[in-house]
Amino acid sequence: MSFLLRSIARYAAQKLASNPRVRQTAAKAARVVVDEARQIARKEDKAQAAGRALRRALNKLQGDR
């Protein structure tokens, strides 16, 4: 099962990587994730910081900014 999922993920990543516009969007998303991870690492209460980051991500997905 894991091999199948890995193969599907690899195929999707290869297809997405061939599109320059998608690569640019993925790079931008990766920078946002790294910024959130840094922010969580700096906080004293990491669980609370992770919860807030998750809430911000969910609100963005739902359109509530």
Q: Are 26 and 20 in contact (CB under 8 A)?
A: no
φ, ψ of residue 45 to 5 degrees: the values are -100, 95
Long-range Cβ pairs for the range 38-47 (8 Å, 24+):
none
Count of residues making up the chain? 65
Mean pLDDT of 3-7: 87
Mean pLDDT of the chain: 86
Q: For the whole model, what pTM was predicted?
A: 0.58
Paired tokens of 30: 């990766």
pLDDT band of 45, cuts 50, 70, 90: very high
CA distances from 18 to 13, 21, 29, 41, 44 (A): 9, 9, 17, 33, 41
Query: For residue range 18-34, what is the model confidence (pLDDT) as tens digits?
Result: 888 988 988 888 888 88
